[in-house]
Structure 1
Amino acid sequence: MTMLNLTESNNLTNTLLYHLKPLNEKPLLVQVLVGLLLYVNGLMIFTFLKKEAFLEETRYILFAQTLFVDSFTMLLTYLTLMGYFYQYPVHIIPCCIICTVISVFNFCTPVTLVTMCLERYVAICMPLRHSSISTPKNTLIVLLVIWAVSFVLPLFVLIVFLVYDSSVGLQSYVVCSLEVMLQLNWLADTMAAGQQILFIIMFCTVVSAYIKILTAARSATSENKKSSKGLRTVILHGIQLFLCMLQFITPYIEMPLWKLDVMVFWNVRYADYILFVISPCCLSPLIYGLRDKKFCNALKHYAFCGFAVVNRHKIRNVKTIPLEVN
């Protein structure tokens, strides 16, 4: 009887290893992607902090915020994904805090993107007022508004969860994910409704900014080059915003699959993480990091530890040359 149980146990272990073998390669790929993007974002944040000209421009301040938020989002979501992958239990209080921070960052990124689109609209359609509107004081106010809007829904979910959960539940250990805090159906529906309303508002704002920039490009031939750059920037922001907002509906797609097929659930969650978390983070360095000549020159200088001699003159004069996106 003992030998039979041992044989059955070995067969079960081999079966589990067989099913998990394809998944073991996926965490490695995620580690490589996250590590590469964290390095690129870190280098860009360092470049931003080293140049006073970037610190004085609203667009670059917002860009630095997206880099900061994207970096922490990737790191925290990667940790929760690996914890869920290996079914590692953690105390529910730290889990709630981590999930709340992730939710705040998930809201902060699209709201910041919409703000960047509005900044491009002001720069192109109201160039004479751009310098008076994009002041350090106004930029600070905008940042505070972005973070305040980003905190509303996640903080509401956290408070409701802590109020309705029993004291026994708050002492338990769980496999950390956002679904832990959305056990109440009405709370999950409220969260989903808030996300949909926010998405509609942001989508309409981006489309309106695009149409007005397009109108300005057709009416002012002398500004066609600048307007076309703004149009491409707004389009990229729109794509990034769409990918960011799609991650809000992924839990409602993934959780029903958990009861049907575990392997399908893991494959879908892995694909969602790559498409709706990693992909938008890749667009941030592209839009303002590599497409901007001045920022790209400064980035090359620090990436090669100051050996980019050809671009040193351009970097020194970065204050006197208008910053433009290609």
Structure 2
Amino acid sequence: MSYATQSQINITVGLRFSERVMLSTLSSLPCCIFFFINGTMLFILRSTLVFRETSRYVLLYNLIFADTVQMALSQLLYLLSVSRIMLTYPVCGFLVMLANLTNEVSPLTLVVMSLERYVAVCYPLRHATIITIRNTAVAIIMVWAFCSLNVLTRVLLLLDFPFEDLESLKMTDFCNTLVMFLGPVSDLYDKAYTGFLFASAGVAVTSSYIGVMVAARSASTDKASARKARSTLLLHLVQLCLSLCSTIHNPVLLFLSRIVTRIVLVRIQNVFYLLIIILPRCLSALIYGLRDQTIRPILTYNLCYLCYLCH
């Protein structure tokens, strides 16, 4: 997916050193805050026994872990671009493929989490036998395996490029996914796969939501549980839409580059980068950390304690 690892289109060329330092600082500060929140959530989910033995919290850990790695890689590529550091094709390819891997794990994990909520509401008596820790682990392994297979396909497509004709393996452009689409087949595959992934994920989450809505009208369904599940599924849809919105990040910037000045485009791009690329990576920790009655007091305590130590 080109949106997550495309840190910068080459509009930083010509900026003064002070401007580049300012851009790096403005993007790094929110990232540090989000890393702090995500890291705290990951620590809580792994250090508390009840969270390690509950399927939905195990899935949440997987989602936040993938988002955190993706955020780190996006920020790394951003800083490399702002610093005008050129990588070699193998190094850039490794970073891009790893970013693609973690980025694709998120929507698929949201699908599994939505199905878990659907089973919890529509089949409450069978939930404990269907949604077990073992089955959850199998689902997570399948998600990572499917995404890894896609990354392997991308690598095989890259092998068709005649690297031996290049004078040097050092790149002449900043590292990003668009640069790594070294042929029309790679670009076409990326668009087709992205469309298939989000269409499938959208159908799965929407179907789960409709199923919960229908079940909520049944007299035998726990109304409070159904209402909470419905709200959770709506949040999953919002998260999925934010990821989908990220796919138009590059096309919008390319369009704006034709009608606005360079400095205006730089400012717009940094706002887009923070709101569309970085912020959604922290939403899972914030949403579940604040909404979940079990996590909220532990998260608040840990954040306050860590802030106290920092001071």
**TM-score scaled to structure 1, two decimals?**
0.81
Bigger shift: residues 239-248 or 117-126: 239-248
- Give matches, 1:1-326, under 5 Å: 16-17=15-16, 24-169=21-166, 171-174=169-172, 175-220=174-219, 223-255=222-254, 262-263=262-263, 265-305=265-305
Is the 8 Å Cα contact of residues 243 and 275 (structure 1) preserved in structure 2? Answer: no
Is the 8 Å Cα contact of residues 44 and 299 (structure 2) preserved in structure 1? Answer: yes
Q: Summarize the Cα distance change of 1:22–1:171 in structure 2 as closer, same or farther, 3 Å threshold.
A: closer
Q: Which amino acid aligns with 1:245?
A: L
State the distance in 2 between where 1:136 and 1:222 align: 24
Is the 8 Å Cα contact of residues 74 and 99 (structure 2) preserved in structure 1? Answer: yes
Q: Which amino acid aligns with 1:171?
A: L
Is the 8 Å Cα contact of residues 242 and 280 (structure 2) preserved in structure 1? Answer: yes
SS of structure 2 residue aligned to 1:87: coil
SS of structure 2 residue aligned to 1:293: coil
Q: Summarize the Cα distance change of 1:257–1:155 in structure 2 as closer, same or farther, 3 Å threshold.
A: farther
Q: Summarize the Cα distance change of 1:254–1:183 in structure 2 as closer, same or farther, 3 Å threshold.
A: farther
State the distance in 2 between where 1:271 and 1:152 align: 33
Deviations 1:33-72 (A, max 9, x none): 1100101111111111111110011110111111111111
State the distance in 2 between where 1:158 and 1:45 align: 31
Q: Which amino acid aligns with 1:144?
A: I
Q: Which runs of 5+ in 1 are unaligned?
A: 1-14, 307-326
The two structures, once aligned, show a CA RMSD in angstroms of 2.4
Cα shift at 1:269: 3.5
State the distance in 2 between where 1:156 and 1:222 align: 44
Q: Which runs of 5+ in 2 are unaligned?
A: 1-13, 307-311
Cα shift at 1:21: 6.1
Q: Which amino acid aligns with 2:42?
A: I
Q: Summarize the Cα distance change of 1:151–1:179 in structure 2 as closer, same or farther, 3 Å threshold.
A: same
Cα shift at 1:163: 3.1
Deviations 1:7-54 (A, max 9, x none): xxxxxxxx853xx86665333221111100101111111111111110
Cα shift at 1:172: 2.0
Between 1 and 2, higher relative CO (CA 8 Å, sep ≥ 6) is seen in: 2
Q: Summarize the Cα distance change of 1:33–1:262 in structure 2 as closer, same or farther, 3 Å threshold.
A: same
State the distance in 2 between where 1:251 and 1:99 align: 16
Deviations 1:156-215 (A, max 9, x none): 222211332323546223421111211312321221011111111111111111111111
Bigger shift: residues 146-155 or 227-236: 146-155
Q: Which has the higher helix share?
A: 1
